[in-house]
Chain A
């Protein structure tokens, strides 16, 4: 069982519907304290701007933030899609051709043992500062998580059920498609759900080191132009995108995987 799958499985349970009211209350309290501290101590924007100032700035700089957000979202979605496909495909390959496990698993683990951010300088030099480098970085970050959850899912299948199907003359592919995939889907979906937030953060971090557009680029520019309210605005938008993406994937998961 993969770490991330467990971690993901925990979220909906922890987020039971009764908690919503208290959750909103918690957020409101946080915002109130934040606003109070920022206004009460008259903190300069470069230390901590007031929430209201940030919200006003989001509206004011919408013309900059909206295209940047959609740029970052495009990069993340592309990388997320590619990464998920690679992860599932590799796990499927290992399941179909068990001998491939000995070759693929160590390589995947070795690549994963390097923290994703450590690849960023190399990926930027290789793929340039355009959209390609972000897609690669996001795919790198997403694929291993999905790969591990998919593998755990495929392996979870009851051996006897698989043997039974084989005895009726079903091929490996057929077992994978009809038996293993449906069983593995909840775990795959859980892995994909946790990867959402990571996908967006990795895209932003990579943008900050070099990009043509995107939330990370806006943040980088704002820091250099000493516009700290805009830094916070960009972060608010990034956080909102992450939460929306996470929510969307969770929603699809609940609609599509009805059998769990």
Chain B
């Protein structure tokens, strides 16, 4: 009994020591804080910076022993972060953060990776659709997981009644579009667009960009639980510092970053991954990132997205934006270190 109690005491003391020591000095290997990052999807160049930061030991240097857990088709990053199963999450986007807060999940967004809508609406250049106005009566496929609201908002802004457009859920495959069964398809700039481009040739395609119609939909949000934000602010800051360094390195040496990803998932197609990283870079450097640094939360864009979701009745009431989006962790890092 006594030994057990003293063991417990040692553990508690040790834990206290680790927490106390963490902010002061980059901890030695022995007292690293264990933490995990849950991604929104399987390993690919979209997440290269985090893998680079692990490979180069940036998290270790900040005192974090980080495990990267991939996502999957039926798990929600917000859920795993809210329950404490994972410390950090790179979740779907402002859409999933809104939905989570709307349902009372205690998650806080501490940074946003993709500053602009990561997908475009693609049609054939020689087809009948020359403008958004021509979407009327045509078959448009999109994901009913957020992209559908962007599509509707874009149509409304262009003066087209979404009810006049034949909007259908999108296949996992782009083949229906390539075969001409679908007039307009939704494509992420880094994934589906690449597949369509390689199969049809880029010159045969015409893209419609939501931003051209004043609709912005920031995605790939970094989230933590309210508990972590409140009780371990230094851990969050350390994580952000290391992640930013990893991404800066990935942009500086894309070949090396793709090497890191290919080592994690060797069955991926290298050419595609290089394209993906280049596109991810464009998305992450868009907006006000040049002035405010990587992962910046552009509250203007967030508010626009919130309005879009209120209009679509996806969320019942306005979200407490101040409590949901917290830039203080980013701001505590000198701007010079955050600049891309």
Closest chain-B Cβ to A207's Cβ sits at a distance in Å of 11
Residues 53 to 102 of chain B near chain A (Cβ within 8 Å): 73-76, 78-79, 82-83, 92, 96, 99-100, 102
A44 to B99, CA, bound (A): 15
Given known A226-B79, A226-B105, contact A210–B172 (CB-CB < 8 A) = yes
Contact residues of B: prevailing secondary structure? loop
Given known A46-B79, A224-B96, A226-B79, contact A210–B74 (CB-CB < 8 A) = no
A45 interface contact, C-beta 8 A: yes
Mask of B286-330 contacts with A, CB within 8 angstroms, 1/0: 000000000000000000000000000010000000000000000
Verify A223–B76 contact, CB threshold 8 A. yes
**For residue B102, which residues in chain A have a CB less than 8 angstroms away from its CB?**
226
Verify A227–B103 contact, CB threshold 8 A. yes
Nearest residue (CB) in A for B106 is A44
B171 interface contact, C-beta 8 A: yes
B156 interface contact, C-beta 8 A: no
B169 interface contact, C-beta 8 A: yes
A-B contact pairs, 22 of them (CB 8 A): A44-B104, A45-B103, A46-B82, A46-B103, A47-B83, A124-B171, A124-B173, A125-B172, A128-B171, A208-B73, A209-B73, A209-B172, A210-B169, A219-B74, A224-B76, A224-B145, A225-B99, A226-B76, A226-B78, A226-B79, A226-B96, A226-B103
Verify B169–A129 contact, CB threshold 8 A. yes
The 9 closest A-B pairs by CB, nearest first: A226-B103, A226-B99, A210-B172, A125-B173, A129-B171, A226-B100, A224-B145, A225-B99, A46-B79
A223 to B100, CA, bound (A): 10
Binding site for A on B (CB under 8 A): 73-76, 78-79, 82-83, 92, 96, 99-100, 102-105, 144-146, 168-169, 171-173, 175-176, 314
**For residue A125, which residues in chain B have a CB less than 8 angstroms away from its CB?**
172-173, 175
Nearest residue (CB) in B for A130 is B171
Closest chain-A Cβ to B142's Cβ sits at a distance in Å of 13
A211 to B176, CA, bound (A): 14
A47 to B96, CA, bound (A): 18
Closest chain-B Cβ to A127's Cβ sits at a distance in Å of 10
Binding site for B on A (CB under 8 A): 44-47, 121, 124-125, 128-129, 208-212, 219-221, 223-228
Closest chain-A Cβ to B94's Cβ sits at a distance in Å of 14
Verify B105–A208 contact, CB threshold 8 A. no
Q: Known A-B contacts: A210-B171, A210-B172. Give 11 more (CB < 8 A).
A: A44-B82, A125-B173, A129-B169, A129-B171, A212-B169, A219-B74, A220-B74, A223-B75, A225-B99, A226-B76, A226-B99
**For residue A209, which residues in chain B have a CB less than 8 angstroms away from its CB?**
73, 172
Nearest residue (CB) in B for A224 is B145
Closest chain-B Cβ to A202's Cβ sits at a distance in Å of 16
**For residue B83, which residues in chain A have a CB less than 8 angstroms away from its CB?**
46-47
Closest chain-B Cβ to A229's Cβ sits at a distance in Å of 9
Closest chain-A Cβ to B309's Cβ sits at a distance in Å of 11
A46 to B172, CA, bound (A): 27
A211 to B99, CA, bound (A): 22
A214 to B189, CA, bound (A): 29
Nearest residue (CB) in B for A212 is B169
Closest chain-A Cβ to B41's Cβ sits at a distance in Å of 13
Closest chain-B Cβ to A251's Cβ sits at a distance in Å of 34
Verify B92–A224 contact, CB threshold 8 A. yes
Closest chain-B Cβ to A209's Cβ sits at a distance in Å of 6
Nearest residue (CB) in B for A47 is B83
**For residue A221, which residues in chain B have a CB less than 8 angstroms away from its CB?**
144-145
The CB with the most chain B CB atoms within 10 A, among A208, A210, A223, A226, is that of A226
Closest chain-A Cβ to B167's Cβ sits at a distance in Å of 11
Closest chain-B Cβ to A98's Cβ sits at a distance in Å of 42
Identify which of A128, A208, A212, A227 contacts B173 (C-beta below 8 A): A128
Nearest residue (CB) in A for B171 is A129
Closest chain-A Cβ to B281's Cβ sits at a distance in Å of 27
A47 to B172, CA, bound (A): 30
Verify A124–B169 contact, CB threshold 8 A. no
**For residue A223, which residues in chain B have a CB less than 8 angstroms away from its CB?**
74-76
**For residue B168, which residues in chain A have a CB less than 8 angstroms away from its CB?**
212
**For residue B146, which residues in chain A have a CB less than 8 angstroms away from its CB?**
224
Nearest residue (CB) in A for B168 is A212
A226 to B99, CA, bound (A): 6
A226 to B92, CA, bound (A): 12
A227 to B144, CA, bound (A): 15
Closest chain-B Cβ to A117's Cβ sits at a distance in Å of 12
The CB with the most chain A CB atoms within 10 A, among B75, B76, B82, is that of B76
Closest chain-B Cβ to A224's Cβ sits at a distance in Å of 5
Nearest residue (CB) in B for A205 is B74
Closest chain-A Cβ to B150's Cβ sits at a distance in Å of 15
